[in-house]
Amino acid sequence: MGKIKVKVLRHDPEGKVKDKFDEFEVSVEEKSTVLEALMKIYDTRDSSLAFEHGCRAQNCGLCVVNLNGHPRYACMARITADAEITPLKHLPLIRDLVFDRRPFFSYLAKFRPYVVREKDPDEEPETLLQPPEHSKLMSCRECFACLSSCPTYDCQNDSFGGPLGFVKLAQLHYDRRDCLDRVSQAREMGILNCMDCSACTCISGIPLNKIVIRPFLALLGEGSDD
């Protein structure tokens, strides 16, 4: 393929420079990925460029960026000429493409985001049935792309936890060991905002609307029939 130009949005945490696009020329092959391009820029041109990555195999979810406006795992998305690489939306940025995950998890902590049991099992390993929704939801990459795709989520607004918040509650809702009322928690987290919306998407294939948003709304008496 040869040399192409890509644009990367730069964000300076000290705020001395306003956010701006930097353009880089990188040499790529036919199947080169976005992550490969970012690493090439880092290795050969500018090692102040901040981005996260982990496994290069869409397992860890760390390398997610917006590619031409759509969230993608950088390790698997092909790079194309004139690609625009930006960070996920609606999240607090640290530098360039890296956002801060901690505020979300501090917010989540209020909902006791772990299995709360009525009593310990009599024997271990216990007899336990796992609904298919639970194993699907536990494969969430926690990549935050769903928050970027949500038109309502804003990291500064505590009244709405966003699709990732609802996923975290749904993991526990479908976990038969957990005894807390996760449905009420979903209301508290603002799921009623989702009644007329199904914009959020999961890039690792979890059907958010089908197994998270609609079931919670239905249990709150706000099903699609109302």
Q: Please report, as ranges, the residues that interact with other proteins according to CB under 8 A.
A: 13-14, 29-33, 35-36, 42-43, 47-50, 53-62, 75-76, 94-96, 98, 100-102, 109, 112-115, 124-130, 134-136, 138-142, 171, 175
| Distance from chain centroid for Cα 70 | 12
84 or 142: CB nearest other proteins: 142
Q: Give dist(CA 75, CA 141) in Å, integer.
A: 14
69 or 132: CB nearest other proteins: 132
54 or 151: CB nearest other proteins: 54
* In the complex, minimum distance from the CB of residue 195 to other proteins, in angstroms, rounded to a whole number: 28
186 or 206: CB nearest other proteins: 206
* In the complex, minimum distance from the CB of residue 126 to other proteins, in angstroms, rounded to a whole number: 8
Residue type, 135: S
208 or 217: CB nearest other proteins: 208
* In the complex, minimum distance from the CB of residue 183 to other proteins, in angstroms, rounded to a whole number: 19
Angle between helix 162-173 and 102-109 (nearest 10): 40
Of the candidates 167, 170, 176, the one whose C-alpha atom is nearest the C-alpha of residue 200 is 167
Dihedral, 173, 179, 181, 183 alpha carbons, nearest 10: 10
* In the complex, minimum distance from the CB of residue 131 to other proteins, in angstroms, rounded to a whole number: 11
- Upper half-sphere CA count for residue 74 (Cβ side, 13 Å): 27
* In the complex, minimum distance from the CB of residue 163 to other proteins, in angstroms, rounded to a whole number: 16
Q: Give dist(CA 161, CA 107) in Å, integer.
A: 8
137 or 150: CB nearest other proteins: 137
35 or 194: CB nearest other proteins: 35
Q: Give dist(CA 108, CA 102) in Å, integer.
A: 10
* In the complex, minimum distance from the CB of residue 192 to other proteins, in angstroms, rounded to a whole number: 26
* In the complex, minimum distance from the CB of residue 92 to other proteins, in angstroms, rounded to a whole number: 11
Letter string b/e over residues 120-139, b meaning 16 or more CB atoms within 10 A of that residue's CB:
eeeeeeeeeeeeebbebbee
Q: Give dist(CA 106, CA 177) in Å, integer.
A: 24
